[in-house]
């Protein structure tokens, strides 16, 4: 089956050869072709170029006059698999309680863990599939999903099995991350060593035996998992072939970046609080910094210092952090807009961060993230817009006409 899209006003993020990521000043460059065509064969991109070079026909032709095409968003940090909601905590924050105070009162991650433990695998899958379908319609064409709201052996496995089932039933790249080290369960409040031993000695072997995850994560933060805890957990995960992707620097900088780079982490995520040492450490690594601006928006905490990171010659990716407590939204369009509005990223930088660099942060550089021959035909067709700058500018508008996953409109 061949599909030809013609009269594309602008074909965005065109790369003749697959590249892994863009960094520093390269992030300001977004290659495009105006008045373009795009040819698909089954689920792959096979050709593209300006309309005056078009010399082929196809089984199906789609006229995109006035519309633009760009790669589907690559969301490299989500917690889509969760049970229920935390709407009451939203009200608590409005009434003046901090994220930390809510957690200390039994809310936060432990609240979500309790709900998830009480929810059947079937019901958890049902709730999670609704969220996944929603973000796909909003333009996400590749996604990472973490566990971490289980905090028991059975509940963590339940989460990862739901992620596996989503991957089997939805035809887009889905990566699974084991985040047993998300918080200490209340029963281990005075026995943190015991919980870390549970992660290492019971959870990891079972996850590995069922091949349920590709990545391992830890919430390396004051009041959660220390640098030493994180070091030990990442070391154990690597023994089972799990690549680190780590929560660091959300509220404090305690050495999480350094221990993550030590373990060759694929990404370090959050980074709302950064210092010069953190940036210097990242300069000497292949680790992708990942910003989660809608989390900053929702919690009213600082935004990742994108300009400092990019001006240091580093790459940056954008992701949603979709979760029930700090970011109950998986809308990457809002993430891109917020990065431009609040983090002073240019539209070019934000689109690069949400596509090609997001793909890198999931080990998907060869599959998605750019309009490149041989890559998956996962892309967004916009409505008729004046420029791609409309995506962040019209932050409250629905600018997507359709989304293609594996060469088919969803």
Residue positions forming the annotated binding site for Zn(2+): 77, 79, 247, 321
Q: Rounded CA gap, 339 and 298, in Å?
A: 14
Neighbouring residues of 71: CB distance < 8 A, sequence distance ≥ 6: 12, 13, 141, 355, 356, 368, 369, 370, 371, 378, 379, 380
Neighbouring residues of 275: CB distance < 8 A, sequence distance ≥ 6: 253
- Express the helix, strand and coil content of the chain in percent, nearest 5 each: 40, 25, 40
Per-residue burial over 185-215, b = 16 or more CB atoms within 10 Å of its CB, e = otherwise? beebeeeeeebbebbbeebbeebbeeebbbb
Neighbouring residues of 257: CB distance < 8 A, sequence distance ≥ 6: 248, 249, 268, 271, 274, 278, 281, 282
Q: Rounded CA gap, 363 and 213, in Å?
A: 13
State the Cα angle at 291 between 147 and 359, rounded to 5°.
Answer: 70
Annotated binding-site residue numbers for 4-imidazolone-5-propanoate: 86, 149, 182, 250, 326
3-state secondary structure of 159: helix
CA within 13 Å, CB half, 235: 10
Q: Rounded CA gap, 320 and 331, in Å?
A: 7
Query: How many CB atoms within 10 Å of residue 383?
Result: 14
Annotated binding-site residue numbers for Fe(3+): 77, 79, 247, 321
DSSP category for residue 25: G
Annotated binding-site residue numbers: 77, 79, 86, 149, 182, 247, 250, 321, 323, 325-326
Annotated binding-site residue numbers for N-formimidoyl-L-glutamate: 149, 323, 325
Enter the tokens of residue 309: 């990171």
Q: Rounded CA gap, 174 and 75, in Å?
A: 10
By CB atoms closer than 10 A (0-12, 13-18, 19+), residue 338 is: buried
Q: Rounded CA gap, 233 and 237, in Å?
A: 6
H or E stretch at 333: helix 332-343
Bridge-based pairing state of the strands 267-270 and 243-248: parallel
Neighbouring residues of 79: CB distance < 8 A, sequence distance ≥ 6: 145, 146, 148, 149, 179, 321, 322, 323, 324
């Amino acid at each position: 089956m061949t599909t030809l899209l013609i009269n594309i006003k602008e074909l965005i993020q065109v790369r003749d050869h697959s590249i892994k990521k863009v960094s520093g000043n390269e992030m300001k460059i977004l290659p495009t072709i105006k008045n373009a065509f795009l040819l698909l064969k089954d689920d792959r991109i096979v050709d593209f170029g300006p309309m005056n070079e078009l010399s082929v026909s196809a089984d199906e032709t789609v006229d995109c006059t006035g519309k633009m095409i760009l790669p589907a968003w690559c969301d490299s940090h989500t917690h889509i698999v969760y049970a229920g909601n935390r709407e009451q905590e939203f009200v608590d924050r409005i009434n003046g309680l901090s994220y930390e105070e809510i957690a200390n009162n039994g809310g936060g991650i432990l609240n979500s863990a309790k709900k998830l433990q009480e929810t059947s695998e079937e019901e958890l899958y049902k709730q999670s599939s609704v969220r996944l379908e929603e973000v796909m319609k909003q333009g996400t064409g590749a996604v990472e999903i973490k566990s971490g709201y289980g905090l028991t052996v059975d509940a963590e496995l339940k989460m990862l099995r739901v992620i596996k089932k989503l991957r089997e039933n939805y035809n887009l790249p889905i990566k699974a991350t084991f985040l047993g080290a998300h918080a200490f369960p209340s029963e281990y409040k005075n026995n943190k060593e015991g919980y870390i031993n549970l992660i290492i000695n019971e959870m990891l072997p079972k996850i590995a035996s069922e091949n349920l995850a590709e990545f391992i994560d830890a919430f390396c933060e004051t009041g959660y998992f220390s640098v030493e805890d994180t070091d030990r957990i990442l070391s154990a995960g690597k023994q089972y072939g799990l690549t680190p992707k780590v929560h660091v620097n959300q509220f404090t900088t305690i050495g999480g970046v350094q221990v993550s780079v030590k373990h060759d982490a694929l990404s370090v995520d959050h980074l709302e609080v950064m210092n010069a040492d953190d940036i210097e450490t990242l300069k000497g690594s292949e680790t992708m910094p990942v910003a989660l601006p809608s989390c900053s928006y929702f919690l009213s905490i600082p935004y990742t210092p994108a300009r400092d990171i990019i001006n240091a010659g580093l790459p940056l990716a954008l992701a949603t952090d979709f979760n029930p407590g700090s970011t109950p939204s998986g809308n990457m369009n809002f993430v891109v807009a917020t990065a431009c509005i609040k983090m002073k990223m240019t539209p070019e930088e934000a689109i690069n961060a949400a596509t090609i660099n997001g793909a890198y942060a999931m080990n998907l550089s060869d599959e998605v993230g750019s309009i490149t021959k041989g890559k998956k035909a996962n892309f967004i067709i916009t409505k008729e817009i004046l420029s791609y700058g409309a995506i962040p500018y019209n932050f409250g508008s629905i600018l997507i006409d359709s989304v293609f996953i594996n060469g088919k409109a969803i």
